[in-house]
Amino acid sequence: MVIKNVNLETVCGYTSTLPDNTLPEVAFAGKSNVGKSSLINALMNRKALARTSAQPGKTQTINYYNINEEIYLVDLPGYGFAKVSEAEKKKWGEMIEKYLHTSKQLKKVFLLIDIRHKPSANDKMMYDWIVYQGFEPVIVATKLDKLKRSQVQKQIKILKEGLELKKGTTLIPFSSISKQGREEIWAIMDEIVDT
Ligand code: GTP
Ligand code: MG
């Protein structure tokens, strides 16, 4: 897709009613600090439209980026951020669940996992929950630039085993710095726009 314009159209907090969009949506889920907002910027070719931070817990709302009036990229808050209160954690969890459960236009869920680490219990729970909701998530293994090339296959194996990925699940190694993986992600979204 040629990106002509991008626009942060809707921001939803805990008490907001989710928009009843007509365009297709794709969502980016993953633990806090895994690189969701950075990935969205890389996809949109913007440096900082989606706010990122070295501090986990940056994105606390559900943010809908309208691309060309063709598709929404939906930036979700991260889960599993240790430093927030239990009440806060519960709120974010409920927001993510409500979104995945009720959005009628949600066509694809990308689940981001840091390629350097074994998936956490929260990652596994999220994966299972997405599958349970009837989606076939695409796994994006983020921060690829932080690994030596010789480590990549081993980490991918750890990731696949840790999540117990279903056979045939697409896994895309990605770096928001080198932009490796960007075209593969766009190919999936282009297919959604074209159908
Ligand atoms: P929350 O909004 O807190 O859930 O985090 P997030 O998943 O949106 O992460 P964000 O994009 O804000 O990135 C977190 C940190 O990781 C920032 O310091 C980014 O610069 C860094 N980061 C993200 N992606 C990459 C990557 O591919 N490579 C490297 N080296 N750093 C990355
Ligand atoms: Mg974020």
Least confident of 55-59, 73-77, 133-137, 188-192: 55-59
Q: Which residue's C-alpha comes closest to atom 5 of ligand 1?
A: 33
How far is residue 184's CA from residue 128's CA, in Å, rounded to a whole number? 23
177 lines ligand 1 (CB under 6 A): yes
Centre a 10 Å sphere on the Cβ of residue 71 and count the other Cβ atoms it contains: 22
Q: How far is the CA of 54 from the centre of ligand 2 (A)?
A: 10
Domains belonging to the chain, first-starting first, are 6-194 (3.40.50.300)
Q: What contacts 24+ positions apart, CB below 8 Å, involve 149-153? A: 152/115
Q: Is ipTM over 0.90? A: yes
Tell me the pLDDT tens digit for each residue of 78-136.
887 777 788 888 888 888 889 999 999 999 999 999 999 999 999 999 999 999 999 99
- pLDDT band at residue 69, thresholds of 50, 70 and 90? very high
Residue-level pLDDT at 35: 96
Q: Which residue's C-alpha comes closest to atom 21 of ligand 1?
A: 35
How far is residue 113's CA from residue 123's CA, in Å, rounded to a whole number? 7
36 lines ligand 1 (CB under 6 A): yes
Residue-level pLDDT at 30: 96
Nearest ligand by distance to the CA of 34: 1
DSSP secondary structure letter of residue 56: S
Residue-level pLDDT at 92: 82
In sequence order, the 6+-apart residues with CB closer than 8 A to the CB of 84 are 57, 92
How far is residue 15's CA from residue 159's CA, in Å, rounded to a whole number? 34
In sequence order, the 6+-apart residues with CB closer than 8 A to the CB of 3 are 44, 45, 67, 68
Nearest ligand by distance to the CA of 145: 1
